[in-house]
Amino acid sequence: MSAHVIDGRACARALKASLTADVSRLTGQGLRLGLATIMVGDDYSSGAYERRLRKLAEQVEVPYRHHRLSSDATQDEVVAVIEALNATPGVSGILVLRPLPAHVDEAAIFRAIDPAKDVEAVHPENAGLLALGIPRFVPSTAASVFHLLDSYLDSVGEDRADFYHRSLIVVVGRSNNVGKPAVSLGYERQATVQSVDEWADRTTGIGRHTRWADVLVVAAGKAGLVKAEHVSENAIVLDVGINPQVGSDGAVRLVGDVDADSVGPRVRALTPVPGGVGPVTDVWLLRNTVAAAELLAGRIPSLSHPDTVLEAS
């Protein structure tokens, strides 16, 4: 790989250090905060994410609790857990891990979360605020993508505003939790933004769009989807995909949506998998949890931009 490798682990370490200091200061001032996660069933990737969050929460001393429900739990049972957490003062952030089983209505579950504790902005009120460009919370993965991108631009001395105003950002994948929020954050930076979904892949192919991208954000959940022929030479590529692959030795390793071997030598910069967007996302969720505690306590009015989350206090 000859592109600049955007080091998500180093970025996450820096964010973690400032978060640890913030948690210590704010809890010292009596602020009550904590993250609660809910998982229904036993999806491999969700389980791995939950374990990472648990460990990180311990390290930065954010109180953490996890509710594990069996895959046959009813919708009412899941809602009951959420309602109990809504009413728990020490819980400032609630995360429902996806995927949910097919018999559980995801939209109904998200609507049950108190919007003030909805740190992934999945409640319609928060998703709407994000789409309007006045977010209460910014979903952690899209926030992390743009934090890495902003930091990379700063590191090479590019003026952010000038870069975004003249750039085309293409987002591959249109999920409510990653692709659409990433599009909103591109709009917020006044870039030109295109959203490419599997329908484009099935008809014209994604390359027709992605080849023009100055910034390519890939969140499709398809290992190796983006190859050298899909990218331009000056592209900055942010690979969100995390796809478990079982090797011949039976060990599971994680690969991205970008075929780094072929894309790396061609583009300007690339986030690796693992070690790119993922580690930053984990810290961001806890940042949002701390910010939610400040919001709940009325200490900050709103989170107008992801980078201002904690500096406002």
Q: Which residues bind ligand NAD (CB under 6 A)?
A: 45, 141, 172-175, 177-179, 196-198, 201, 206, 219-222, 225, 240-243, 277-278, 281
Q: Measure the CA–CA gap between 197 and 193, rounded to whole angstroms.
A: 13
Q: Are strands 243-246 and 252-255 parallel, antiparallel or unpaired?
A: antiparallel
Decide whether 167 or 175 has the Cβ nearer to ligand NAD: 175
Give whichever of 26 and 100 is closer to ligand NAD, judged by the CB atom: 100
Distance separating alpha carbons of residues 238 and 229, to the nearest angstrom: 16
Residue 285 near residue 24 (C-beta atoms within 8 A): no
CA distance 49 to 280: 12
The least distance separating ligand NAD from the CB of residue 274, rounded to whole angstroms, comes to 9
**Is beta strand 168-172 parallel, antiparallel or unpaired with respect to 236-239?**
unpaired
**If you count DSSP H runs as helices and E runs as strands, how many of each does the chain have, helices first?**
12, 11
Give the max Cα distance, the chain.
Answer: 57
Q: From CA 106, how far away is CA 130, in angstroms rounded?
A: 19
CB of 43 to ligand NAD, least distance (A): 10
> SS3 for 141?
helix
- Nearer to ligand NAD by Cβ, of 92 and 144: the residue is 144
Upper half-sphere CA count for residue 103 (Cβ side, 13 Å): 11
- Say how far apart CA 180 and CA 195 lie, in whole Å: 8
Q: Which one, 31 or 220, has the nearer CB to ligand NAD?
A: 220
Min. distance of Cβ 242 from ligand NAD in angstroms? 4
**Contact residues for 61 (Cβ-Cβ < 8 A; gap 6+):** 20, 23, 24, 27
Our CB check for ligand NAD shows the closer of 26 and 242 to be 242
Least CB distance to ligand NAD at residue 178 (A): 4
CB nearer ligand NAD, residue 216 or residue 296: 216
User: Least distance to ligand NAD from the beta carbon of 53, Å?
Assistant: 11
Of residues 92 and 271, the one with the C-beta less far from ligand NAD: 271
DSSP 258: B
Beta strands 93-96 and 35-40 are parallel
Shortest Cβ distance from residue 179 to ligand NAD (Å)?
A: 5
- Rounded to a whole number of angstroms, the minimum distance from the CB of residue 201 to ligand NAD is 3
